[in-house]
Amino acid sequence: MHIWFFVTERSATFMTMKVLRTGAFAAILVAILALVPVAGAALVGIYRNPMEGKGQLAQIKKLSGDRCGRGASEGAFGIVIGKQTKECSYRTPVAGRDLEIAATERLLGKTPKPVQRAAYLALDLRAGGGARYQLAAYPFQRKAQLRKILPDGSIEYLQIARDVPAIVGVDRDNDLRLRAFNITEGEEKGSCRILAYVGGELVADVTDEGAGDLAGRASGFSVGSAKVAKGAQATVDNVVIRVPSPF
């Protein structure tokens, strides 16, 4: 039996395709029960945001970061990182356990050269309380990291890929996709299967037995650096969120 809930400020229930078509809801809570997700599972899109106007930009809310500037930038969501700040993170209206998020992110050449070297573009799932799963792509280094950030701020590097051809550098679009589905049957029940892609290239495939460490359900994206990222500028566009098909 599969049970779906779509809860927003306007109504208690919406059909999946309506959510995908409009993308104009203040909050969406997705609860998916009794799914057995696998790498090749069929997916259903429930949210799309092409960042084409004020209403769509307003759907994106700040999740974390001390000094984070935001706004429209060439038809995309623009981010500027201020002083003494390492990362700026934002969430979509979609919250849920088993989600896939995709977005096009670009590190702008306006970013100071020293910051470019260590800057990353990222997608986040199960975010909350400072914790999350994160796919981080480094345009300058052509490196991708799948990491698990715990509530105390410590980081577990689940998988690292270097010299990734699909990471196309500064001032170019990097297409990122991150999926985290719990396994609900068998010996690995309760674990989380995490897949990460850059430009269609699989850069990480990990099963995390400690999925229960992350209680958050927010989905979103980030821009940052291991060091202070003052002056880093980036854009995010074409955000899409999918869930496992119940069919």
Task: Kindly report, residue by residue over 189-213, the tens digit of the pLDDT.
Answer: 999 999 999 999 999 999 999 999 9
Average pLDDT of the residues in 211-236: 97
Confidence of residue 25 (pLDDT cuts 50, 70, 90): very low
Provide the pLDDT for residue 8. 31
- Tell which residue, 204, 105, 121, has the closest CA to residue 160: 204
- Structural domains in the chain plus CATH codes: 4-244 (2.60.120.560)
Q: Give dist(CA 87, CA 28) in Å, integer.
A: 25
Give the pLDDT confidence of 31-67 residue by residue, as tens digits: 433 344 444 468 999 999 999 999 999 999 999 999 9
Q: What is the pLDDT of residues 120-176, one digit of tens each?
A: 999 999 999 999 999 999 999 999 999 999 999 999 999 999 999 999 999 999 999
pLDDT at 229 over 60: yes
Structure tokens at 92: 């979509």
pTM of the model: 0.86
Spatial distance between the Cα atoms of 168 and 206, rounded to a whole number of angstroms: 24
3-state class (DSSP) for residue 150: coil
22 burial via Cβ count (<10 Å: 0-12, 13-18, 19+): exposed
Higher pLDDT, 79 or 23: 79
**Spatial CA neighbour of 79 closest among 98, 63, 93, 99:** 63
Q: What is the mean pLDDT of the chain?
A: 87
